[in-house]
Amino acid sequence: MDELELLKKDWKKKEQQFKQVSEQDIYHMLHQSSSSIVKWIFIISIIEFLIFRLLDFTLFFDEAFINRLKSYHIYDIEKVATVINFIVLIGFIIYFYKNLKNISTTSSVKKLMKDIIETRKIVKYYVWYNLAIAFITGVIILFSQLKYDSNLSPLFEKYQLVVISIGLSVIVLLVGVFYLFYKLVYGILLKRLQNNYKELKKIDL
């Protein structure tokens, strides 16, 4: 009877060892996967930043575009808004890089889970910020055109409600396209991060 109990205890010890090794392997894979996902978020945000900010600055060297903005009385507003937007987006990219470094160097399940939550939260802020900026910019340009554009202002005075409705509908449609782009690109990555978080939660129990 004593020998049987000893065998049972020995088997339980081995079983526990196998379990620990398995959990360590799972953590290692989830750690690598999460680090890779955040790296892609960082890379995509940089590519997006370079493309759109380069476009912004290129437009401000276009004399025809500058004159158009001045005729709408929004040149100074757009210039200041572009600089502020540039600074804010740089801040987001720095934060993404910080999260990447944190996830790459973390050594515990709880810390990795915390970093995943933080990353998902900041990406959502980033997406909603960009959508809000696109909508606000569109509204400013719309009403400036309706007020100062000689071709549109007579139409606006005659059919205000219709013109505003059409203009806002176009803006919402364009913002919706941007939303679908972000949903496709960042949504897939955030979903994978969420799945990693769920798997980590099982290990942490």
- The predicted-structure confidence for 87-123, as pLDDT tens digits, reads as follows 999 999 999 998 888 888 876 778 888 888 888 999 9
Angle, helices 160-204 vs 109-148, to 10°: value is: 180
pLDDT per residue as tens digits for the range 139-192:
998 888 888 887 777 877 788 888 888 989 999 999 999 999 898 889 899 999
d(CA 49, CA 93): 9
